[in-house]
Structure 1
């Protein structure tokens, strides 16, 4: 039995496309993050805390620390929830994040921040800030897996 050239070429092309689909790298995914951060400072601030990453049905404990510079005054505790995107594995969340954020609290206030690390992971967080704190700063946040 003889196979015609166009039919053979079409079969070869289909096999090549199927092979490319099987060997494609894992697509970036997203997860949910919950952080509790204590922050204090006078022009230069420091922060520390803990959190949890929920990714692909599992929970991963996180440690948080960081420094910020700019207009920082007071002390506060902030509980943040949000999404981390552009990660392929839990360890992609670890690293130093930078970005711009703003918040204010006298008693209870609100805060929102978007940060990105060198691996491309992006945190989009929002939450409650409790304490006496005013800040409009560039933040550097270190997150590590525990």
Structure 2
């Protein structure tokens, strides 16, 4: 009987320590997801420039956004994209601000669809997709800055 009481006591202590550890350590589940809408215009020859505006919907509130960016590499043409998607790993709305980078290549044609996956130094991942109007071909490293207005 004494062994059983000792075993129950040990199990209770281990379970209590595990519960305290789970409560005190931040987990990825504390991060939330927001919805992003953006209209971005870009164009250029060799070096591309782009910018636009949009909104972040996060925890029931709307936050106005400003997009700016530069693409280094081979870019030819001009296009406008209406993008929608999600921002992952947000703890607060201000986490969306920063410089985003992606490595890849893509092309868009008049009325074509496009998609992009970017990440900033806060760990926020933007997954955006939508329609592009215009024509551009790009390859190389792309960057984009996002700020709250």
Report the Cα distance in structure 1 between the residues aligned to 2:145 and 2:115, rounded to whole angstroms: 17
The alpha carbon displacement at 1:89 in A equals: 2.0
> Residues 108 and 134 of structure 2 are in contact (CA less than 8 Å); yes or no, is this contact kept in structure 1?
no
In structure 2, the partner of 1:136 is: 139
Report the Cα distance in structure 1 between the residues aligned to 2:121 and 2:75, rounded to whole angstroms: 25
Moved runs in structure 1, 4+ residues, more than 4 A?
none
Report the Cα distance in structure 2 between the residues aligned to 1:75 and 1:4, rounded to whole angstroms: 75
The alpha carbon displacement at 1:116 in A equals: 1.2
Report the Cα distance in structure 1 between the residues aligned to 2:123 and 2:20, rounded to whole angstroms: 28
In structure 2, the partner of 1:78 is: 81
RMSD: 2.1
Aligned residues: 144
Within 5 Å, which residues of 2 pair with 1:90-105? Answer: 90-99=93-102, 100-105=104-109
Q: Does 1:59 align with 2:62?
A: yes
Question: Which of the two has greater helix per residue?
Answer: 2
> Residues 88 and 124 of structure 2 are in contact (CA less than 8 Å); yes or no, is this contact kept in structure 1?
yes
In structure 1, the partner of 2:121 is: 118
Cα pair distance change 1:140/1:6, threshold 3 Å: same
- Give the secondary-structure state (helix, strand or coil) at the position aligned to 1:25: coil
> Residues 99 and 146 of structure 2 are in contact (CA less than 8 Å); yes or no, is this contact kept in structure 1?
yes
The alpha carbon displacement at 1:96 in A equals: 0.6
Q: Which runs of 5+ in 2 are unaligned?
A: none
Structure 1-normalised TM-score? 0.85
